[in-house]
Amino acid sequence: MNKTSDTLGNSLEGRRSAADRLLEILKRRGPQTSAELGAAVGVTDEAARQQLVKMAAEGMIEGYSENRGVGRPVQIWKLTAAGNGRFPDAHAELTEQLISTIRKVLGEESLDRLIAAREAETLKNYLVEMHGAFELEEHVRRLAAIRDREGYMCEFQNDGAGFLLIENHCPICVAARTCQGFCRSELKIFEKVLGDKARVTREEHIVSGARRCVYRIIDRRDYEKT
């Protein structure tokens, strides 16, 4: 192993492997250059590039060229389907089979009742964690923390026009693709958790082909002024 590879390994010692860390960054941030990825983990462009080439050979990522203004095109790296498959899928195959069986044996109405029961239980748990929060930003911060713990790789941002709740991964994606009721239910949960304080809309949706799910949260008082 050469010096740059040693640097990358040492910088991540005691944490996850270099590959896992880089995969997570690509999952959270989307396509990146080797320089951007190296900066994210505190190593050189070359050290990151060597690891990325190895990961590409394993089928976890793939590179493509992109023009970014003046100069030669730059190499961009992104996750492949295999790379995305490294993240939790909440027992996808079993989930899909169970949903299909419920539909066939009990009917669509029974499936809707199950989703409603899950929604009620989830909402109850979320509201407990909101206790003591008063400002909208604190509600959004806590909601993002809950969703991150649940495997959604969630974060939030204030972009000046409101808050963005960003979910870079969906651990129930197969269930959501099989039954859209799960996505409708989650949007309703967010609306109820934030209560009268905010208006919530979904701007990006993994099930519709986006890289991530993004929800815009606007203080209802600001929204009503427009």
Tell me how many degrees the CA angle 137-143-148 measures, rounded to the nearest 5: 125
**Claim to verify: residue 128 and residue 170 sit in the same structural domain:** yes
Least confident window among 82-86, 169-173, 214-218: 82-86
Name the percent of the chain lying above pLDDT 70.
Answer: 88
Q: What is the DSSP-derived secondary structure letter of residue 32? A: B
User: How far apart (Å, rounded) are the C-alpha atoms in residues 136 and 140?
Assistant: 6
Q: Which pair of tokens denotes residue 13?
A: 């010692």
pLDDT of residue 142: 96
pLDDT of residue 6: 42
**Claim to verify: residue 63 and residue 123 sit in the same structural domain:** no
Residue 34: give the domain boundaries: 3-84
**Claim to verify: residue 215 and residue 152 sit in the same structural domain:** yes
**Claim to verify: residue 210 and residue 106 sit in the same structural domain:** yes
Phi, psi of 205, rounded to the nearest 5 degrees: -145, 120
pLDDT digits (tens, 9 = 90+) for 147-161: 999 989 999 999 988
**Claim to verify: residue 214 and residue 134 sit in the same structural domain:** yes
**Claim to verify: residue 57 and residue 99 sit in the same structural domain:** no
> Which CATH number covers residue 71?
1.10.10.10
> Which CATH number covers residue 116?
3.30.1380
Closest CA to 179 of 107, 104, 111, 90: 111
pLDDT of residue 5: 42
Domain count within the chain: 2
User: How far apart (Å, rounded) are the C-alpha atoms in residues 53 and 190?
Assistant: 40
Name the percent of the chain lying above pLDDT 90.
Answer: 46
Torsion of the alpha carbons at 201, 116, 169 and 67, rounded to the nearest 10: -30
- Residue entry with tokens 């204030």: 158
**Claim to verify: residue 117 and residue 73 sit in the same structural domain:** no
User: How far apart (Å, rounded) are the C-alpha atoms in residues 38 and 15?
Assistant: 16
User: How far apart (Å, rounded) are the C-alpha atoms in residues 112 and 120?
Assistant: 12
Average pLDDT value for residue range 207-221: 90
**Claim to verify: residue 143 and residue 213 sit in the same structural domain:** yes
In this predicted structure, the answer to whether residue 58 has a pLDDT above a threshold of 80 is: yes
pLDDT of residue 201: 95
pLDDT of residue 91: 62
